[in-house]
Amino acid sequence: MPTFIGLDLAWTAHRESGICWLQGESAADLRCTRLEAAVCNPRRLADELAAVEGPLVVTIDAPLLYTPERWAEREVARRFGRYKASAHSAHAAVRRGYTAGIDLGRALMERGFTADPAPLLRGEPGRFAVEIYPHTVHVRLFGLSERLPYKPRPHRSVAFRQAVMQEYQEHLRALMEREARGVLRDPRVRQALAPRMAATATGAGLKRLDDTLDGLTCALSAWLLWKEPDRWETLGDLNGYIVAPRET
């Protein structure tokens, strides 16, 4: 049975990452087997992923492949800047020593994973690890005119972020009802999508919900990449890329 894993990977190994595992072959039987925010060591996480049997797609929100010639973020800015959905610079992250995604990507390739998205987008079977950026997924699959501003910023109040997080929950629920309704049977998913979770979360709890929802977004993206690869495209190249939904 194929497995679809989403990782909203913290750029440093001592912070929590959003983690979601899905398994199944159809929208009806797809189920969630893990959903949490937890601290992850890249090499131990790679061992855990390598132990999963069968076809596997892992989607990771963090720089995965990197050389100094990486230009993926420039292309994301060109395509999605009008939606205020530009991506953080991988070059700046590397200069600051934030390499958890690169370390994980290297460890997965050592364990037989393919980091090149081209075979996956051709519908070929395999074990893949690919980089995505949740804001591009939200813009395209939620049909947004502007990205959801749920990330913490000095000028954003807790009440504002709670309201946006509830909007995020609503969009995710609608996406699952269309594309992955079996996932909604899981009590952890229902709890993560419960409006009261966002309405009452503050501080670390709000950050944990943010990570959890992003992990769920990543896992749903892995499922949709496998199910309908022609709906996706690669921005960048093997110096570093981001896979995003195509504009329809």
Contact between residue 199 and residue 192 where contact means Cβ atoms under 8 Å apart: no
**The pLDDT of residue 14:** 80
Q: Strand order of the sheet with strand 56-60?
A: 31-39, 16-23, 3-8, 56-60, 127-131
C-alpha 126/C-alpha 56 separation (Å) is: 7
Q: Give the residue, 12 or 166, on which the prediction is more confident.
A: 166
Q: Please state the separation of Cα 184 from the chain's center in Å.
A: 18
What are the tens digits of pLDDT across the range 18-73?
999 999 999 889 999 999 999 988 899 999 999 999 999 999 999 999 999 999 99
Contact between residue 220 and residue 231 where contact means Cβ atoms under 8 Å apart: no
Residue 107 has pLDDT above 80, yes or no: yes
Residue 13 has pLDDT above 80, yes or no: no
What are the tens digits of pLDDT across the range 194-215?
999 999 999 999 999 999 999 9
C-alpha 194/C-alpha 40 separation (Å) is: 26
**The pLDDT of residue 248:** 81
**The pLDDT of residue 11:** 78
What are the tens digits of pLDDT across the range 131-160?
999 999 999 999 999 999 999 888 889 999
Could you give the percent of the chain with pLDDT greater than 90?
92
Q: At what angle do helices 203-227 and 134-142 cross, to 10 degrees?
A: 70
Please state, rounded to an integer, the average pLDDT across all residues of the chain.
Answer: 95
What φ, ψ does residue 4 adopt, rounded to 5°? -130, 115
**The pLDDT of residue 210:** 95
In terms of DSSP bridges, do strands 3-8 and 16-23 run parallel, antiparallel, or are they unpaired? antiparallel
Q: What is the pTM of this model?
A: 0.96
Give the number of C-alpha atoms closer than 13 A to the C-alpha of residue 131, restricted to the C-beta side: 27
Mean per-residue pLDDT, 215-221: 98
